Amino acid sequence: MVVYSFYIFDRHAECIYKKKWAPRPTSTGSKSQQANGLVDGAPQPKALSAEDDAKLIFGTIFSLRNMVRKLGGEDERFISYRTGQYKLHYYETPTSLKFVMVTDTKTNNLRIVLHQIYVSLYVEFVVKNPLSPIEHPGGIGVNCEMFELGVEQFVNASLMS
């Protein structure tokens, strides 16, 4: 399994943590089309900045979550979605923190894994840390070395083995 990236969004739609392991695959075209920057006759967009990528991910999960609730009722939950190139996994805590992981398409549901990251890493190293802010205004993210190390070790040991 390949993990491309991991994001945490707070209840104010701010990305408070992001980590990338591998770049997401792009759509494929012929070599001649890719050589001149065109695929199917259209120019390829430039790579997004980290902030723009996080905004795009949040907008996607926000829209899909609302669509699932409107179509299926308030008890329905958005868990994941798959494209031809990646799969996005989603977990929302009771305090409206949103944990998002982007993986390859062959990965099974990671809702339990995201819950484990929340309970065993985020709560232990961020919430219980007296030096960590309760709110993250203006996009000030999680700045806890133990949390970052824990996420890195957890993903490498559990998911990339």
Q: At 153, is the secondary structure helix, strand, or coil?
A: helix
pLDDT at 43 over 50: yes
Summarize the confidence of residues 89-107 as an average pLDDT.
92
Core vs surface per residue 68-83: b (16+ CB within 10 A) or e: eeeeeeeeeebbbeee
Summarize the confidence of residues 134-144 as an average pLDDT.
72
**Given this model, what pLDDT does residue 72 score?**
82
pTM for the model: 0.80
**Given this model, what pLDDT does residue 35 score?**
47
Among 5-9, 48-52, 87-91, the least confident range:
48-52
